[in-house]
Amino acid sequence: MNKKLGVIFVYLIFIIFPQSGFCFSDIAQKISSQIVSRVLRTGQVIQLIGITEDYTNMGNIEGVAIHLYSENIPDVSLRFQYDNGNWSEWQNAQVFSEPFSYRSIAWFRGEIVKSSIRYEYNTSVQKGNIEILSVGVFPEDNEEYPIVSVIPQITPHDLQKPHIITREEWGAQPPTHGYTNHPYFTKLSLHHAAGFSASNIEEGKIQMRAIQDLHQIVRGWSDIGYHFVVDRAGNIYQGRPETVIGAHVLNHNTGNIGVSILGCYHPPELYCNDQLTQASRDSLVKLYAWISETYDYYPYTLLGHRDYPDNDTSCPGNNIWSLLYSIRDEINIYMELGGPPLYYTLSQNYPNPFNLHTTILYDLPKESLVHLTIFDIQGRVVIKVVDQIMNKGIQTVVWDGKNIENTEVSAGVYLYQIQAGEFVQTRKMVLLK
């Protein structure tokens, strides 16, 4: 031990089993590795040296990546072993950092990777702890893409397209090379970003640019892999055009439109405890319903990333995957009803209390015979403000504080009740004088 520096060198074998996170499983195939050396300074881990398992059974690879957690940007170097037992020279990895987070990915792509069978990594920071979350490789995509780029027919539809934040609005870079059109539409997929959380549009734009950099620069794809991305406030962002083949499910991208939710939703893994917000869920339903009707999908086609063969991942995380059955049902109902509203509701009047006039709002998921009645506190009918067949939609009616005889009623508490088919709901309001 060097007492002046307080550095301890520890040589050990510590197996790191694959974890997902930080979009890692969307860009890399996770593998196991062993930590063979750990250096501590004043109780903090400042250097980790490890070696991966043999990955020859994974087929051809294009690059490698290490998922790290550190408050400071780490230095990472790599060397590669080949089937003759020889090792390459040490290579400096590049490091990609997630915005608003201490997570990063060290990566390397090049010819010397392609014939390797394992790699050794040396990670270090000047101060603070460093932690290895996952290691992985970039497998070659073995999917056979269509030779002729055709544009499938789009189905006429009635559902309104939800508001989409365009590529220009979030500052997308152009694709590095051309797209290939889907020859057909057969699959729908849901992902989580396993990081890259955003609770508003400004954060969302930053994360979209970061994910595009991750996919274009780190992974080497032509563009962001997803077709759409939804943030935790429910904002929807256009990824690559949905009519072209994406890069989000290994070997299953043709005919597959992919959507990702910003945030991390798999509690068994570190830093991954988000719950799906209602705003995100509502946007998912609207978006998938529009996609399904536009491109003639059956909504129950929707799968999580983990449901595909050849994809060893927990994505979209337990907290989303467990909701997929009910989300599919909601998409189906949304399509059957032709869009919102999906349910009968009676909202609180506004203003309340009121003096001269108040507005009552109610939702009808389909054309209905509506009775909307005002009662006094004794339960006596004051006036029927609606007594007719009303169209599907969000409806409003104004009560002027008068009874059926067009006489102003006294101040006090009143009840208003809606009856529409089997739906009945009653609320209170207060009239002031």
CATH number at residue 248: 3.40.80.10
Residue 166 located in a structural domain = no
Give the model's confidence band at 13: pLDDT under 50 very low, under 70 low, under 90 confident, else very high: very low
Higher pLDDT among residues 181 and 144, named by residue: 181
- Which bin fits 268, alpha (ψ -120 to 50), beta or left (φ > 0)? alpha
Report which of 273, 246, 24, 227 is spatially closest to residue 138, judged by C-alpha positions.
24
Tokens found for residue 229: 């991305």
pLDDT digits (tens, 9 = 90+) for 86-101: 999 999 999 999 888 8
For residues 253 and 225, state if they share a domain.
yes
For residues 193 and 319, state if they share a domain.
yes
For residues 115 and 251, state if they share a domain.
no
Give the model's confidence band at 1: pLDDT under 50 very low, under 70 low, under 90 confident, else very high: very low
Residue after which a domain boundary falls, among 312, 337, 362: 337
Report which of 18, 34, 83, 17 is spatially closest to residue 56, judged by C-alpha positions.
83
* Cβ–Cβ under 8 Å, residues 407 and 365: no
Residue 332 located in a structural domain = yes
Residue 217 located in a structural domain = yes
Report which of 144, 262, 151, 260 is spatially closest to residue 200, judged by C-alpha positions.
262
Q: How far apart are CA 162 and CA 159, in angstroms?
A: 9
Residue 151 located in a structural domain = no
Residue 234 located in a structural domain = yes
pLDDT at 149 over 90: no
For residues 221 and 275, state if they share a domain.
yes
pLDDT digits (tens, 9 = 90+) for 249-288: 988 999 999 999 999 998 877 678 899 999 999 999 999 9
Tokens found for residue 311: 């994809």
For residues 232 and 361, state if they share a domain.
no
Helix (H) or strand (E) holding 283: helix 278-294
Residue 106 located in a structural domain = yes
pLDDT at 142 over 80: no
Give the model's confidence band at 341: pLDDT under 50 very low, under 70 low, under 90 confident, else very high: confident
Give the model's confidence band at 156: pLDDT under 50 very low, under 70 low, under 90 confident, else very high: low
Q: How far apart are CA 416 and CA 396, in angstroms?
A: 13
Q: Identify the CATH number of the domain in which residue 57 sits.
A: 2.60.120
For residues 66 and 95, state if they share a domain.
yes
pLDDT at 4 over 50: no
Residue after which a domain boundary falls, among 275, 306, 337: 337
Strands 256-261 and 91-92: unpaired
Q: Quick check: helix, strand or coil at residue 207? A: helix
Helix (H) or strand (E) holding 134: strand 130-139
Residue after which a domain boundary falls, among 80, 104, 139: 139
pLDDT at 240: 97
| Average pLDDT of the residues in 400-404 | 96
Strand residues in 343-380 grouped as ranges (E): 345-346, 358-364, 368-376
Mean pLDDT score across all residues of the chain: 89
For residues 75 and 208, state if they share a domain.
no
| Average pLDDT of the residues in 169-186 | 94
For residues 323 and 196, state if they share a domain.
yes
Q: Identify the CATH number of the domain in which residue 357 sits.
A: 2.60.40.4070
Which residue is listed with tokens 């499938």? Answer: 152
Report which of 187, 282, 303, 181 is spatially closest to residue 236, judged by C-alpha positions.
282
Task: Specify the number of domains making up the chain.
Answer: 3
pLDDT at 20: 41
For residues 197 and 300, state if they share a domain.
yes
Higher pLDDT among residues 341 and 413, named by residue: 413
DSSP letter at 306? G
Tokens found for residue 21: 């996170």
Q: What proportion of the chain, given as a percentage, has pLDDT over 90? A: 70
Q: Exposure of 422 by Cβ count < 10 A (0-12 exposed, 13-18 middle, 19+ buried)? A: exposed
Give the model's confidence band at 12: pLDDT under 50 very low, under 70 low, under 90 confident, else very high: very low
| Average pLDDT of the residues in 194-220 | 93
pLDDT at 17: 40
pLDDT at 5: 43
DSSP letter at 216? I
Q: Which residues contact 322 (CB under 8 A, 6 or more apart)?
A: none
Domain extent, residue 424, equals 345-431
Phi then psi dihedrals of residue 426, to 5 deg: -130, 140
pLDDT at 24 over 80: no
Q: How far apart are CA 291 and CA 393, in angstroms?
A: 22
State pTM to two decimals.
0.75
Higher pLDDT among residues 301 and 30, named by residue: 301
For residues 363 and 326, state if they share a domain.
no
* Cβ–Cβ under 8 Å, residues 396 and 373: no
| Average pLDDT of the residues in 144-166 | 72
For residues 304 and 359, state if they share a domain.
no
Residue 198 located in a structural domain = yes
For residues 316 and 220, state if they share a domain.
yes
Side-by-side strand order, sheet with 358-364: 345-346, 358-364, 393-399
